Chains A and B, each alone.
Chain A
Amino acid sequence: KQEVTQIPAALSVPEGENLVLNCSFTDSAIYNLQWFRQDPGKGLTSLLLIQSSQREQTSGRLNASLDKSSGRSTLYIAASQPGDSATYLCAVENSNYQLIWGAGTKLIIKP
């Protein structure tokens, strides 16, 4: 059974720092991996999707990497801003198009 773990559960850093969020999964047979952002009381916003055959994806200040063999993905945020404060969720998709979710990392960027 696929399990997804996100570390740390919470992170607080000063504005301007670069940071890394971690996601690990137990079964490497995944279709893709997605990173999402959720603001308090809001829906989810898709940030990046990495297909199982890809190693990384970039969007602006965000870079996500995928190492399927070791069951790991990282989300790198460069030059963090207070507006980046949110909960970041990692999810892996199986061959039935279902997402298995991590519990999230709550990120606070201090001005």
Chain B
Amino acid sequence: SQTIHQWPATLVQPVGSPLSLECTVEGTSNPNLYWYRQAAGRGLQLLFYSVGIGQISSEVPQNLSASRPQDRQFILSSKKLLLSDSGFYLCAWAGDPSYEQYFGPGTRLTVT
């Protein structure tokens, strides 16, 4: 069966510091991968999605970036965090045949 992992679970970082969040998927190959952000009391915002290694599409211009160095690994990064980057970051995968999206447990990021 497929599983999706995210780490860390929680993170407190000062403004201006770098960020690296990791997401890995097991039990499937060539999945579509997604990064979402959920701000407090708000809906989900799609940040990046990837249909293959090295293929990243950005939905929202910001100081975040994403990379997919391996088929089942998706990384969200920032060189300098802003206060507005605080939120709940969720990774998801989808694949054949239905492309139903499955979510990881999330990372709660607080920028101080």
Contact = CB atoms under 8 A, between A and B. Distances in A.
Interface in A63-111: 89, 91, 93, 97-99, 101-104
Contacts, number: 50
A44 B105 CA distance: 8
Interface residues of B, number: 22
B99 A46 contact: no
A102 B103 contact: no
Interface in B58-112: 59, 88, 90, 92, 94, 98-106, 108
Given A32-B99, A34-B100, A99-B101, A42 B106 contact: yes
The secondary structure that dominates the B interface is: strand
Contact of A44 (B32, B51, B90, B99): B90
Contacts of A98: 46, 49, 59
A36 B100 CA distance: 11
Contact of A99 (B46, B98, B104): B46
Nearest to B104: A43
Contacts of A102: 43
B44 A34 contact: no
Contact of A43 (B34, B59, B90, B100): B90
A101 B43 contact: yes
A32 B49 CA distance: 18
A30 to B, nearest CB: 12
8 contacts: A41-B88, A42-B106, A49-B100, A97-B51, A98-B49, A99-B44, A99-B46, A99-B101
Interface of A: 31-32, 34, 36, 41-46, 49, 51, 89, 91, 93, 97-99, 101-104
